[in-house]
A and B are shown apart, each in its own frame.
Chain A
Amino acid sequence: MKRKVSILEHEWVPKHEVMSESEVEELLRKYGIGKDQLPRIKVTDPVIKEIGAKEGDVVKITRRSKTAGRSVYYRLVVAR
């Protein structure tokens, strides 16, 4: 019997959220960068498929961190 499990529920998968347009704008302004200077993630990535982000979206990733307790990371969704 096959059972469908959402990878988002897995212990090791940190929280991924698609950011709104205004949030992205603020983020880019904060770091003084363009979208192309963000770290990337493929649309084919299982998490991206799961949360349904599209090419050009920016996802906000909240991770547990050994040093800071909680850390935030942003990645641009790209085609390849």
Chain B
Amino acid sequence: MTLKRIKSVRFGILGPTEIRKMSVSEIITPDTYDEDGFPIDLGLMSQKLGVIDPGLRCKTCGGRMVECPGHFGHIELAYPVIHIGFVKKIHKVLSATCRSCGRVMLDESERMRFIEEFDKIKRTGGDIEDFENVVKDVFRAAAKSECPFCGERQLRIRFEKPASYYEVDEEGGERRLMPTDVRARLERIPDEDVRLLGMDPENARPEWMVLTVLPVPPVTARPSITLETGQRSEDDLTHKLVDILRINQRLIQNKDAGAPQLIIEDLWELLQYHVATFLDNEIPGVPPARHRSGRPLKGIAQRLKGKEGRFRGSLSGKRVNFSARTVISPDPNISIDEVGVPETIAKELTVTVYVTPRNIEDMRETVRRGPRHPGANYVRRPDGRKLKVTEKNCESLAAELDVGWRVERHLRDGDIVLFNRQPSLHRLSIMAHYVRVMPGRTFRLNPAVCPPYNADFDGDEMNLHVLQTEEARGEAKILMEVQANIISPRFGRPIIGGLHDHITGMFILTRGFKRFSRDEVLRILRGIEISEIPPPAGYDESGKPFWTGKQIFSVILPPDLNANFRAKFCDKCYERGEACKEDKCDRDSYVIIRNGELLRGVIDDKALGSFKGALIERIYKKYGPSAAKEFINKFTKLAINIITQYGFSYGINDSDLPKEAKDYITEEVLREAIERVKSLQEAYEMGELEPLPGRTEEETLELLVMQELGSARDGAGEVASRYLDIENPAVLMAKSGARGSMLNLTQMSACVGQQSIRGERIKRGYQNRTLPHFRQGDLSAEAHGFVKSSFKDGLTPIEYFFHAAGGREALVDTAVRTSQSGYFQRRLINALQDLSVRYDGTVREARGIIVQFNYGDDGVDPSKSYYERYIDEIVEEVLANHESSDESQVMRESEAEAKAKAEAEAGVEVEAADAQEMMRW
């Protein structure tokens, strides 16, 4: 067979001649099989229409079951019927053409104008939309009451659902246009007029919208199913065709017998119904044709339409082999680029291995193991025969195995697979992992890779696909490995990093200069592959050596790493106009790393967290993906060891405040705020409130009250945080960025604050009041959803009600938002799916039309760029290397390159100038 290229695709309507031409047999009888269960010729299951039984041959082409694609038949309809898919079009065409001469009712000048317009679109390469707009104008212009050609008075055509047309005269008298009349009218339209209507007379004559011959789909398109009982069950389409044939036959009989017009018309109507529901069984206003069981039958339209239809269900999306799906659960002891696979799944999924002289012994052993785990399911001999490996024949097959055979062996440790969690919203939703076969029934996943998949372990399931070719495995290894995707292409920072416990643990370890004994150090470093520990930081009173937490952390840092940055724990003095004290920071929140040694600062969310991960980013950029992966593996283990050792918990008492703090909050902060709200309200009632520009007095009051109450809650939180120090686990988690915020804490221990609906205080409910507990028109804080209590103390019933009202809005919002953003995403992806960045840096779509002349204006891949984030550090490093110029030349050059690249990408002109200066020097 020669390969051919599709140059163009043309759509049209099948006309009667074409239907007869492609038909291999006319279908006449509604019966399918005779008494012996043999298909009847000229029946719906005729053997000329294709084969659906294995072993038989097609009577038309002689092909076997898979070879023969099936062949169309046809039914000669006794009377024409309207094609239900064209009812609207027919109505439009009828209204635009003359009832007597069939011309499109445009006078000569109009004709010229429209022909001109069509030509212009063709010349300038306009799209279908432009074309259809002109067609729309044609139909509008052709709606005349008198034909400009023959002068015939026109009658209005009324369309009645589902498929009838009436001519309405001036007095309102109506005459039904039977499909024969409609067809006759459409036939009269000359070819050149058909073109004006936007149709192509070669491929879609208007009268073909009225069916005289019905194509019968091949049996391969409507196969019957044999039930266990041996009974045959026919496809919905076959059932429908039987109905059509029955009525058609009766119609022919009645016609030949000269039955009264009334009976003919009734049967005709019935034929119309059956043909219509055969094509589409969900026509509005038409009762759907039903199966004996009451289930609506599937028409042709139903096969194509919707999510499960041919397009979205069978062509855009298909089911695949070599895949598995199960629940995921966490395993912090496997590497982030691994996935734990249950043995039962590993035995089902296979990798095909070609037997070569180099692996024949290994493969022999594999086949010998047969169905026991690291074994094989099938072998394929060079002649193409596929043999199942069983407990019985595995020994003999292993002996027979030779070079050139193929072995479908079980999934093993180290195999590369693709791992995916839906919805696959970005490319990080599918990454390559290495297999670890494990007992159990779930996929095991290192919790640090949850963020890119957006996975958690509350019952999430994930899919796994086994790669089958060497090319696929190679590509996955280079592009899709987890470590290759640590930096997100979305924001150029690590998306994989420490989670809650990792941050907490590291914070506890590295804050200040905690001392650890030799035993503690060894226990903390357990399971992390290091060969020696650094010399002790000092000796305590009893002469025993001790190490600091910062030292322990430094053990897992690369030996020549340098970094300076502010931790999450930073109090942001610089934002208050004070100079950053840097290494003299009294909160120890300025991180300084010199030559792989953490000298100052605490390691928290900013350094290790997913979405931030300043340290992970530096290691990734300087030492590459594998080093970053190892670093993540090590610090997560380290952090877990610490938090296990140290112990970390949160109890109900941890949100307690001392009595004086509580009293201060209720007696001073909240009371005063409520007092001020009251005076605002009084001022408003007296009409003394000065309205803010552009607002009414009411709005001004609301605004001021909201402000007042907002600062009241903040004030309460401020008081609470004065009494809760970093020893409080919730504070520790909030300040280190592990989980939660100070606001959450405030709400737990001090005051929940104002509840809102649509950004306003709660004001719905009864007439001029929210609840019957208040007076009408009460504008006080309590009456509009201010919650004075804390969660720990508990809410009053009224507060509880307001809180529930606000909470419901939050719930509804998230539900609505997810479905909306999902749909937006789908539309966006559909619109952008075939854009690509070409080698010249341009972004083009499939036809080569340019969308961007330079990707993102600057041609930078955010995941490969340094930005200006730590340009100082790079410059510093280059300088340091320069001074010790005996050091390797290569190293220096790569550094300089990195720096130059970083600057070019950052577009920081001042620094770039400096760098050039330095390079000259």
A residues apposed to B, CB below 8 Å: 31-33, 36-39, 65-69, 71-74, 78-80
Q: Are B848 and A71 in contact (CB under 8 A)?
A: no
Q: Are B858 and A33 in contact (CB under 8 A)?
A: no
Question: Inside 8 A of A32's CB, which chain B residues have their CB?
Answer: 840
Q: Are A73 and B853 in contact (CB under 8 A)?
A: yes
Question: Inside 8 A of B842's CB, which chain A residues have their CB?
Answer: 31
Tell me which of B124-132, B206-214, B386-394, B573-581 binds A.
B124-132
Q: Are B126 and A39 in contact (CB under 8 A)?
A: no
Q: Are B850 and A37 in contact (CB under 8 A)?
A: yes
Given known A-B contacts A39-B850, A72-B853, A74-B853, A31 and B124 have beta carbons under 8 A apart:
no
Q: Are B840 and A67 in contact (CB under 8 A)?
A: no
Given known A-B contacts A31-B842, A33-B848, A80-B124, A67 and B856 have beta carbons under 8 A apart:
yes
What is the bound-complex CA distance between A77 and B591, given in angstroms?
Answer: 55
Q: Are B849 and A68 in contact (CB under 8 A)?
A: no
Q: How far is the CB of A39 from chain B (nearest CB, A)?
A: 6
What is the bound-complex CA distance between A33 and B842, given in angstroms?
Answer: 12
Q: Are B850 and A33 in contact (CB under 8 A)?
A: yes
Q: Are A31 and B907 in contact (CB under 8 A)?
A: no
B844-897, CB < 8 A from A: 844, 847-851, 853-854, 856-858, 860
Q: Are B857 and A39 in contact (CB under 8 A)?
A: no
Given known A-B contacts A31-B840, A69-B907, A39 and B860 have beta carbons under 8 A apart:
no
Name B858's contact: one of A31, A36, A68, A74 (CB within 8 Å): A68
B432-473, CB < 8 A from A: none
What is the bound-complex CA distance between A36 and B847, given in angstroms?
Answer: 10
Q: Are B857 and A67 in contact (CB under 8 A)?
A: yes
Name A39's contact: one of B130, B847, B849 (CB within 8 Å): B849
Given contacts A31-B842, A32-B840, A65-B857, 9 further A-B contacts (CB under 8 A): A33-B850, A36-B125, A37-B850, A39-B849, A68-B854, A71-B853, A74-B853, A78-B124, A79-B124
Question: Inside 8 A of A79's CB, which chain B residues have their CB?
Answer: 120, 124
**Chain B interface size, under 10 / 10 to 19 / 20 to 34 / 35 or more:** 20 to 34
Closest-by-CB residue of B relative to A69 is B907
**Contact string, B273-294, partner A, CB cutoff 8 A, digits 1/0?**
0000000000000000000000
What is the bound-complex CA distance between A33 and B844, given in angstroms?
Answer: 11
24 contacts between A and B (CB under 8 A): A31-B850, A32-B840, A37-B847, A37-B848, A37-B849, A37-B850, A39-B849, A39-B850, A39-B851, A66-B857, A67-B857, A67-B860, A68-B857, A68-B858, A69-B907, A71-B854, A71-B857, A73-B853, A74-B853, A78-B124, A79-B120, A79-B124, A80-B121, A80-B130
In the complex, which of the residues B840, B844, B849, B853 has the most CB atoms of chain A within 10 Å of its own CB atom?
B853
Question: Inside 8 A of A31's CB, which chain B residues have their CB?
Answer: 840, 842, 850, 853
What is the bound-complex CA distance between A71 and B843, given in angstroms?
Answer: 14
Q: How far is the CB of A74 from chain B (nearest CB, A)?
A: 7
What is the bound-complex CA distance between A11 and B408, given in angstroms?
Answer: 66
Q: How far is the CB of A45 from chain B (nearest CB, A)?
A: 16
Closest-by-CB residue of B relative to A63 is B857
What is the bound-complex CA distance between A54 and B615, given in angstroms?
Answer: 55
What is the bound-complex CA distance between A72 and B124, given in angstroms?
Answer: 26
Q: How far is the CB of A78 from chain B (nearest CB, A)?
A: 7
In the complex, which of the residues A67, A73, A79 has the most CB atoms of chain B within 10 Å of its own CB atom?
A67
What is the bound-complex CA distance between A67 and B853, given in angstroms?
Answer: 14
Chain B contact residues: over half helix, strand or loop, or mixed?
A: loop
Q: How far is the CB of B813 from chain A (nearest CB, A)?
A: 30
Q: Are A38 and B854 in contact (CB under 8 A)?
A: no
Q: How far is the CB of B839 from chain A (nearest CB, A)?
A: 11
Q: How far is the CB of A26 from chain B (nearest CB, A)?
A: 14
What is the bound-complex CA distance between A71 and B860, given in angstroms?
Answer: 13
Closest-by-CB residue of A relative to B858 is A68
Q: How far is the CB of A75 from chain B (nearest CB, A)?
A: 10
Closest-by-CB residue of B relative to A72 is B853
What is the bound-complex CA distance between A71 and B859, given in angstroms?
Answer: 11
Q: How far is the CB of B117 from chain A (nearest CB, A)?
A: 10
Q: Which 4 residue pairs of A and B lie closest in terms of their CB atoms, listed nearest first?
A: A68-B858, A68-B857, A71-B857, A65-B857
What is the bound-complex CA distance between A37 and B120, given in angstroms?
Answer: 19
Question: Inside 8 A of B856's CB, which chain A residues have their CB?
Answer: 67-68
Question: Inside 8 A of A78's CB, which chain B residues have their CB?
Answer: 124
Question: Inside 8 A of B850's CB, which chain A residues have their CB?
Answer: 31, 33, 37-39
What is the bound-complex CA distance between A57 and B851, given in angstroms?
Answer: 18
Question: Inside 8 A of A74's CB, which chain B residues have their CB?
Answer: 853
Closest-by-CB residue of A relative to B845 is A37
Closest-by-CB residue of A relative to B133 is A80
Q: How far is the CB of A24 from chain B (nearest CB, A)?
A: 14
Question: Inside 8 A of B848's CB, which chain A residues have their CB?
Answer: 33, 37
Question: Inside 8 A of B130's CB, which chain A residues have their CB?
Answer: 80
Q: How far is the CB of B355 from chain A (nearest CB, A)?
A: 48
What is the bound-complex CA distance between A73 and B854, given in angstroms?
Answer: 9
Q: How far is the CB of A65 from chain B (nearest CB, A)?
A: 4
B89-124, CB < 8 A from A: 120-121, 124
Question: Inside 8 A of B121's CB, which chain A residues have their CB?
Answer: 80
What is the bound-complex CA distance between A62 and B124, given in angstroms?
Answer: 27
Question: Inside 8 A of A36's CB, which chain B residues have their CB?
Answer: 125, 849
What is the bound-complex CA distance between A36 and B121, given in angstroms?
Answer: 14
What is the bound-complex CA distance between A72 and B857, given in angstroms?
Answer: 8
What is the bound-complex CA distance between A32 and B853, given in angstroms?
Answer: 12
Q: How far is the CB of B490 from chain A (nearest CB, A)?
A: 14
Question: Inside 8 A of B860's CB, which chain A residues have their CB?
Answer: 67
Question: Inside 8 A of B858's CB, which chain A residues have their CB?
Answer: 65, 67-68, 71
In the complex, which of the residues A38, A72, A79 has the most CB atoms of chain B within 10 Å of its own CB atom?
A79
Question: Inside 8 A of B857's CB, which chain A residues have their CB?
Answer: 65-68, 71
Q: Are B124 and A38 in contact (CB under 8 A)?
A: no
**Contact string, B621-632, partner A, CB cutoff 8 A, digits 1/0?**
000000000000
What is the bound-complex CA distance between A66 and B192, given in angstroms?
Answer: 55
Question: Inside 8 A of A65's CB, which chain B residues have their CB?
Answer: 857-858
What is the bound-complex CA distance between A68 and B906, given in angstroms?
Answer: 9
Closest-by-CB residue of B relative to A66 is B857
Question: Inside 8 A of A69's CB, which chain B residues have their CB?
Answer: 907
What is the bound-complex CA distance between A71 and B840, given in angstroms?
Answer: 16
What is the bound-complex CA distance between A73 and B855, given in angstroms?
Answer: 12
What is the bound-complex CA distance between A43 and B121, given in angstroms?
Answer: 15
What is the bound-complex CA distance between A31 and B843, given in angstroms?
Answer: 11
Q: How far is the CB of B136 from chain A (nearest CB, A)?
A: 15
Question: Inside 8 A of A38's CB, which chain B residues have their CB?
Answer: 849-850
What is the bound-complex CA distance between A36 and B126, given in angstroms?
Answer: 11
Q: Are B907 and A68 in contact (CB under 8 A)?
A: yes
What is the bound-complex CA distance between A33 and B126, given in angstroms?
Answer: 19
Q: How far is the CB of B64 from chain A (nearest CB, A)?
A: 48
Question: Inside 8 A of B907's CB, which chain A residues have their CB?
Answer: 68-69
What is the bound-complex CA distance between A71 and B849, given in angstroms?
Answer: 19
Q: How far is the CB of B902 from chain A (nearest CB, A)?
A: 15
What is the bound-complex CA distance between A72 and B841, given in angstroms?
Answer: 14
Q: How far is the CB of B837 from chain A (nearest CB, A)?
A: 14
What is the bound-complex CA distance between A80 and B120, given in angstroms?
Answer: 10
Q: How far is the CB of B850 from chain A (nearest CB, A)?
A: 6
What is the bound-complex CA distance between A73 and B851, given in angstroms?
Answer: 9
B699-737, CB < 8 A from A: none
**Contact string, B588-627, partner A, CB cutoff 8 A, digits 1/0?**
0000000000000000000000000000000000000000
What is the bound-complex CA distance between A35 and B285, given in angstroms?
Answer: 51
Closest-by-CB residue of A relative to B856 is A67
Closest-by-CB residue of A relative to B853 is A73
Question: Inside 8 A of A68's CB, which chain B residues have their CB?
Answer: 854, 856-858, 907
Question: Inside 8 A of B124's CB, which chain A residues have their CB?
Answer: 78-80
B369-413, CB < 8 A from A: none
